Amino acid sequence: MARRTGARRPDDPRLAEAFEEQWGLVSAGVDALGDAAFGAASVLPGWTVGDLVAHCARSGGALARALEAVAADGAGTDGARADRPGAADAVRYLSGVGARAEAIADTARADAAGLPADTLRALLRDAVADSSKALTAALAGSGGALGWDRVVRSPGGPIRLGDFVVTRCVEGVVHGLDLGFPPARDALRIVTRVLVDVLATKAPGRSVELRVPPFAAVQVVEGPRHTRGTPPNVVEADPVAFVQVVAGRLDWATAVADGRLTASGDRADLRPWLPLL
């Protein structure tokens, strides 16, 4: 049965743990890199590994900065709830990432400029620790009254804390893979599901069944609706391949050719809607 998208789902019960575990893996992986690796080209065109690590530090530390701003301006009261006009959810936030790509790249290169490997390692390590500590304090201090529903500032505008943490999991999984680090299972599950939702928003419909076992299945793309029996149009991928394809890291044709993604049916080519990020 395909999972319905659209309405905001309850926050994942392991969201905080997934964030901490994923970013802990990225930080530990970067700590293990040799100094020479930081000057090498990364998988992102025009980015060195050092640039990517600097960007990870900014992305991983964004949660701490957002929560510090909440504390500084006294937000976190009933006026800062998720129903505040203009507050984004994770799908809307992620849908706007592509428009900020050039600015993100420029910032990463500026952050990394002139910094030695040891400094970049420490920058990431400290950023991850600060965000984990800030998140723990924010949830403990909410007393269950606000928790994930408080609104924080993000690079994409106001957003629910729960949704912002989901976007940080996306950053941690995608950039962890960019650096060659396999993702934590809970983070991969959360990221797969939200990226499926982003795709369903960009390509609404019921003519193609998208399967990313064991985490998600949804119908997408306008056209004849499938109701019973074997769907005529099916796309299936393992979660890591799905994340890499929709993030623009893995070419669709390459993924199909080596079996990491299968696509059957006249409408099963999703390339017109990719990449998502």
Q: ∠270-275-277 over CA atoms, to 5°?
A: 145
Distance CA 201, CA 88 (A): 14
Average pLDDT estimate for 127-134: 97
User: What pLDDT was estimated at residue 156?
Assistant: 86
Average pLDDT estimate for 203-228: 89
Q: Rounded to two decimals, what is the model's pTM?
A: 0.91
Categorize the per-residue pLDDT at 77 as very low, low, confident or very high, splitting at 50, 70 and 90: very low
Average pLDDT estimate for 132-157: 83
Question: For residues 219 and 2, is the Cβ–Cβ distance under 8 A?
Answer: yes
Tokens 């939702």 belong to 197
Q: End-to-end distance of the chain based on CA atoms, in angstroms?
A: 27
Average pLDDT estimate for 9-32: 94
User: What pLDDT was estimated at residue 142?
Assistant: 63
Average pLDDT estimate for 118-143: 92
Q: Is the pLDDT of residue 41 over 50?
A: yes
| DSSP letter for each residue of 190-216 | HHHHHHHHHHHHHS--SSEEEEETTTE
Read off the amino acid at residue 105.
Answer: A
Average pLDDT estimate for 146-172: 92
Q: What sign does the CA torsion over 258, 264, 266, 272 have?
A: negative
Distance CA 80, CA 137 (A): 18
Q: Is 235 helix (H, G, I), strand (E, B) or coil?
A: strand
Q: Is the pLDDT of residue 158 over 60?
A: yes
More confident residue, 86 or 261: 261
Which domains, from first to last, does the chain contain?
Answer: 15-182 (1.20.120.450), 203-273 (3.30.1050.40)
User: What pLDDT was estimated at residue 98?
Assistant: 83
Q: Where are the beta strands (DSSP E) in the chain?
A: 151-154, 157-160, 208-212, 216-220, 234-237, 261-264
Q: What sign does the CA torsion over 103, 109, 113, 119 have?
A: positive
Average pLDDT estimate for 107-120: 98
Average pLDDT estimate for 167-181: 98
Q: Is 218 helix (H, G, I), strand (E, B) or coil?
A: strand
What long-range pairs does 5-10 form, CB within 8 A, spacing at least 24?
A: 5/196, 5/197, 5/200, 5/201, 5/218, 8/89
Average pLDDT estimate for 237-243: 98
The b-or-e profile of 103-131 (16+ CB within 10 A means b, else e) is eebebbbebbeebebeebbebbbebbbbb
Average pLDDT estimate for 52-66: 97
Tokens 């991969």 belong to 188
Q: Is the pLDDT of residue 95 over 50?
A: yes
Categorize the per-residue pLDDT at 3 as very low, low, confident or very high, splitting at 50, 70 and 90: very low
User: What pLDDT was estimated at residue 79?
Assistant: 39
Average pLDDT estimate for 263-269: 95
User: What pLDDT was estimated at residue 147?
Assistant: 81
Average pLDDT estimate for 55-59: 98
